[in-house]
Amino acid sequence: MDIDRLLSVFDPQTAAVQHGSVVNRYLSDLKGYYADPRAYEAASSGGNPLVYSVSSLEPGHEAGDLHFGVGMMLPGKIGNEYYLTKGHYHAWRAAAEYYIGLSGSGMVLLEDERTQETHLIPMTPNAVIYVPGYNAHRTINTGTVPLTYIGIFAANAGHDYGSIAERNFRHVVVEQDGQPVLIERQTYLASLGRA
């Protein structure tokens, strides 16, 4: 293996990873992911801000290899719904992942494809969050500063974004009385008068 692949350095502020590749997601990339389309349109009319950035290091692609990513999510809301990542399943459904919180405060939303069971796990600095296989996972910044974190997963896990793009998570995380609250999407839509 190329010796350059044996050491990398990441910048926890920008999520840049030495030898890594960067994906930036802007508000326009997240059309359809937020529950409230009117709030989305209103936010979009004010510009197209960066919502999150993920840098990935992929030293190898053989079974047994590991991939490493650093995420940096900006704070913000669309209506009452906090800034979120698209979320995904792993293409290889059984593949798990570790998330490790670096800075800021947020949540990881998990939804088991087999049981529909939902978990909302707090992500704070030094939190080590195990994302089991078969669970769709989405990161949410519920704080007022950037949320940064590490993800480590099997190289052959793959990403399935399409299933989430099609039907989204069954729950949303919204601000109520200054606090993040997990509620069913349909209940939130009904509260907006748009179920």
Give the whole-angstrom CA distance, residue 49 versus residue 68: 25
How many angstroms separate the Cα of 32 from the Cα of each of 86, 89, 125? 10, 18, 30
Closest CB to Fe ion among residues 37, 133:
133
> 81 or 97, CB closer to Fe ion?
97
CB 186 within 8 A of CB 142: no
Reduce the secondary structure of 58-123 to three states and give it as a string: CCCCCCCCEEEEEEEECCCEECCEECECCCEECCCCCCCEEEEEEECCEEEEEEECCCCCEEEEEE
CB of 33 to Fe ion, least distance (A): 16
Give the closest residue to 79 by CA, choosing from 50, 111, 41.
41
Minimum CB–partner distance for residue 118 and Fe ion (Å):
17
Residue (150 or 174) nearer to Fe ion, CB: 150
Residue of closest CB approach to Fe ion: 97
Amino acid at 3: I
CB of 171 to Fe ion, least distance (A): 18
| Residue 56 and residue 20 in contact, taking contact as beta carbons nearer than 8 Å | yes
Give the nearest distance from C-beta 25 to Fe ion in angstroms.
Answer: 15
Helices (H) and strands (E) in the chain, counts: 3, 13
Question: CB-wise, 99 or 188, nearer to Fe ion?
Answer: 99
Quote the least distance from Cβ 147 to Fe ion, whole Å.
Answer: 16
Q: What is the DSSP string of 134-157?
A: TEEEEEEE-SSS-EEEEEEEETT-
Q: Which lies closer to Fe ion via its Cβ, residue 36 or residue 97? A: 97
Q: Using CB under 5 A as the criterion, which residues of the chain lie in contact with Fe ion when the complex forms?
A: 97
CB of 153: closest distance to Fe ion in angstroms? 5
Nearer to Fe ion, 97 or 111 (CB): 97
